[in-house]
Structures are given as structure tokens and as C-alpha cells.
Chains A and B, each alone.
Chain A
């Protein structure tokens, strides 16, 4: 095996391993720690594909902002085994439905996958900021704008929900 293949397989194994630890870990805060580790592993995979911009944005957005908020909420909840919510029949049904649809997507994705040789991509400029920007603002400008409108509507919704109670702070 070449060096690149060894790195790819080791990184892939570590990524899947840390992702598995997220669901196998008993403690919620440790689960979050493993999830953060998983995001770092995914970023490492991006760097292997020469997509440095996406790798670092993944760390800034997911590891740096979203996971901090998740940890924040978990710390306030003080989760332990005593006050774990009881699972009802409808919750179990919903879980089976969600898991089944995820399985369908996975099967559909794996069905068409081909085992191709791993090649090095560092020679081209793909994934760097300039080429990404060019693609985003020319070929994919419509999806890009639509997703930004989606973000704005989510933000407006959050502000609206938070403002329902009149608060006076000076």
C-alpha cells in the first residue's frame, strides 16, 4: 500500500471509530466530546482532499459554534440516568421510521459506489478559496442565495420567538 492509502484508511477508521463512540458512550458530555473529535476527523479528511477552506469552516461552524451551544445546553440540563425521559410507543415508532429512512438513503448511496483507486489531488487548485468562490457565485449562485434566504428566515423566526415576552433591560 502506498503512503496515501495508509493515511486514508487510518483516517477513515479513526473517523468512523470516533463517530461510533458518540453513540456508544454512556455519558452525554463525553458523547459531545467524541462528536467534536469526529468533526476534527472530518476536517482532516477534507484536508486530505485538498479542501482546506471547507475543512477550516467545518471547524469554525460545527466544532466552534454549534457544539459549544450543544455543550452549553447539556451542562445546564444536568442529565443523569434518574431523569432520563421514558420512551413511549409513539416515540419508538418515530425512531424506527427515522432509522429506516436513513437506512434507505445509505443503501441507495452504497449501491452505486465504486471502488476506485485513491489518487492524490494536491496538484490541482480544486477546493481552494478562489475556485470555491468562483463556483458559488457563478454555477451555484441560485442554491447559494436560496440557502442564505433560508438562514435569514430561521434567524428572523428565532428573534420572533425570543421577543414574544416583553423584556425591559437597560
Chain B
């Protein structure tokens, strides 16, 4: 195995992990500041200048709390719950392309940990197993409120996953690839997917708010009905892990939204730069987009009241799924027409028997030409 590759991937994994955790820690601070701003308060301002050391103080406090396991709890599953929540939240960062490739000492270093050819499906898979942390923790606590929360969380996540999956399929149809790297690379400059699929973006955004268990979809931890929901019985750093996992999820969801619909690291006028300058500016642009979406998530949380449970199911099953399905069918028809697949003699369609990389590349090129046609 190539030692340089191993080294660069190890460093990249460490950097991405550190950045994710740092962002999650400072999102707690940001959330409180945003909430304070929206409610015309000051917010945390005691720890350090502007309260900037508040997350460190919070984490330190959680570490020194008593690590308590209820007598009738299932001990191993009780410990596993927060671990699974944290693991599933953090692992999605592995397939996100954080920026254009860097050039270090003659090597081209890709700023994506794993460029797997099914990146989008990997994200969906991790999103679908993300519910286990909440379910196992809620069940193992042996508390009725926690169990209610676990059940609410699982049914909500399954419901919203469907609409989310359909909107992701629409994006995949547009770009003709399941690789996140390729989907981002095709949105060069201002050629972002959101201009072609605004409805799809809206559905995806609503679903990711629901998948993150954020208000107005935070039925799983609504404190007025369920005390604290699935983490009622948790204390110390186990509860810290759950709260932390929520913010890691928020960061990663914002990154996925930015990558799928808002061009990832692409920005207008990026052709004026090249090499490492482009890589650094692109990464910063991507992080700025993520920050913007985190702010939108917080904006929604402190503006809208919580849904009632049946309203939530109604929205998921009877509104979002039909909207995303109709959107998918219309997009598929438009793409098929622009390819000429309905003509008796296909103009530039791919030969059906070829399963080679050439075919894939030409599909990608045709997609770009479709986009430009659409633009004009």
C-alpha cells in the first residue's frame, strides 16, 4: 500500500473529525447566541470574552457529573445508545468532498476521505441507521417517557426518509452519478442544482430538519410532554454525547445540503483561481455555506412552534412524498425528452449494451449539456 496515501488519508480523517467536533461544540454556543438575539436577550457572556469559552465550560461540567445508570436499565444497550448516536452522526463526513484537490509536494491530495461511487446512497444508509442510537437509548432506559420518545423518533424518521430518498433520486437523475464528488464537480461555478430543482431542495431541507430531530419536528424530545425524551435517564457525558450528536448531525446535514444543492465548494468566478488557492478558497466557501445552513436551521427552531404528532405524519406522508414523487416524474420526463429517448432513433443516447466507463462519462457530459440547454 502507498505510504503517502495512507498518511494523507489519516491526516485528513483526523482534521475532518476535529473540525466536525469543534463545529458541533461551537454550534451550542451559536445556538444560544442566535436564540438570545431573536428573543432580544444577551445570551451567554460570562465565560471569556463574549462568552466564547462557554462550550468548554459546558463540556467540563458534563465530564465531572456522576455517571449514573438506572437500576432496571439494560446496562449494555444503555451504554451503546449514545455511542451509536455519535458514531452514525460523525461517519457521514467521510464521503463529503470538502474542497477541490490540494497539491502538496507534487502529490494531488483529494479533500474527500473516501470517494466511493455510491456516496449518496452511503449518506442515505447512515441516515437510516441513525435512528438506532435514539431507539436503543430510549428503550434501554426502562422509562415510559423514553420509550414513547424512541417510538416517536423511529416512526418519524422512517416517514421522512422516504421523501428524502425520492428527492435524492431526483438529484441523481439530474447529474447521472451516485458519487458525491461528481455531483459537486458538475455544479461548477453557479451551475447549482437548486436553480433546476427548487422544489426538490425544499422537500430535502424539510426532511433533513425532521431527520435531525430539530424543532419544529422535535417530537422525540419535546420537554412539555416527555420530560427530556430519550435522554431523560441519561446524565454526565452520555447525555453530552446525545446532545453533541445532534449538533454533529446538524453540521453534516448542512454540509450535505450545501453539497447536493448549493454547489459544495463551487462559487461564481472560480475559474480565476487555480491550484492550492482554489482549494483553500473553495473549502472556505463550502464552510461558509455550511455555516449559513446551520443558521437557517437555528432560525427555524427559534421561530416556529412545534408540530402536533398527527400533523407531522400528515405532512410527511400526504404532502412531501406526493410532491417529491410528482417532481421526480416530471424531472425524469424532461430529462428523457431532452435526451431524445422517446424518438424512434435516439439522437445521442447511450448504447444499451455498453457498460464501460466511456458510457458513464458521456452520460455525465450529456447531463451538463442538458443543464446548459435548460439554462438557455
The interface of chain A, by Cβ under 8 A from chain B, is 27, 29-30, 33, 36, 52-53, 56-57, 59-60, 63-65, 68-69, 71-72, 75-76, 125, 128-131, 134, 138, 169
Classify chain B: how many residues form its interface, as a range.
Answer: 20 to 34
Query: Known contacts A36-B132, A75-B150, A134-B355: does B122 contact A56 (CB below 8 Å)?
Result: yes
Report 25 cross-chain contacts, Cβ distance below 8 Å, ordered by A residue: A33-B77, A33-B136, A36-B132, A52-B117, A52-B118, A60-B121, A63-B128, A64-B127, A65-B161, A68-B128, A68-B131, A68-B154, A68-B157, A68-B158, A69-B158, A71-B132, A72-B155, A75-B135, A75-B151, A125-B356, A129-B118, A134-B353, A134-B355, A138-B352, A138-B353
A56 to B121, CA, bound (A): 7
Residues of B within 8 A of A76 (CB): 151
Are B178 and A134 closer than 8 Å at their CB atoms? no
How many residue-residue contacts, CB under 8 A, span A and B?
Answer: 77
B140 → chain A closest CB, angstroms: 8
B124, B155, B310: the one contacting A60 at CB < 8 Å is B124
A134 to B158, CA, bound (A): 30
A128 to B127, CA, bound (A): 22
Contact with A along B342-370 (1 / 0, CB 8 A): 00000000001101100110000000000
Residues of B within 8 A of A68 (CB): 128, 131-132, 135, 154, 157-158
Q: Does B204 contact A (CB under 8 A)?
A: no
Residues of B within 8 A of A129 (CB): 117-118, 178
A40 → chain B closest CB, angstroms: 9
Interface centre among B127, B132, B314 (most CB of A within 10 A): B132
Q: Which of B308-322 contact A (CB under 8 A)?
A: 310, 314
Which residue of chain B lies nearest to A57 when distances are taken between CB atoms in the complex? B121
B124, B154, B178: the one contacting A71 at CB < 8 Å is B154
Question: What does DSSP make chain B's interface, helix, strand, loop or mixed?
Answer: helix
Contact with A along B116-138 (1 / 0, CB 8 A): 11100110110111011001100
Q: Does B139 contact A (CB under 8 A)?
A: yes
A56 to B147, CA, bound (A): 29
A64 to B135, CA, bound (A): 12
A153 → chain B closest CB, angstroms: 19
Residues of A within 8 A of B128 (CB): 59-60, 63-65, 68
Are B121 and A130 closer than 8 Å at their CB atoms? no
A45 → chain B closest CB, angstroms: 16
A36 → chain B closest CB, angstroms: 7
Are A71 and B118 closer than 8 Å at their CB atoms? no
A130 to B357, CA, bound (A): 9
Q: Does B115 contact A (CB under 8 A)?
A: no
Q: Does B246 contact A (CB under 8 A)?
A: no
Q: Which of B84-126 contact A (CB under 8 A)?
A: 116-118, 121-122, 124-125
Are B147 and A59 closer than 8 Å at their CB atoms? no
Residues of A within 8 A of B135 (CB): 68, 71-72, 75
A130 to B129, CA, bound (A): 26
Q: Does B8 contact A (CB under 8 A)?
A: no
Are A64 and B77 closer than 8 Å at their CB atoms? no
Q: Does B182 contact A (CB under 8 A)?
A: no
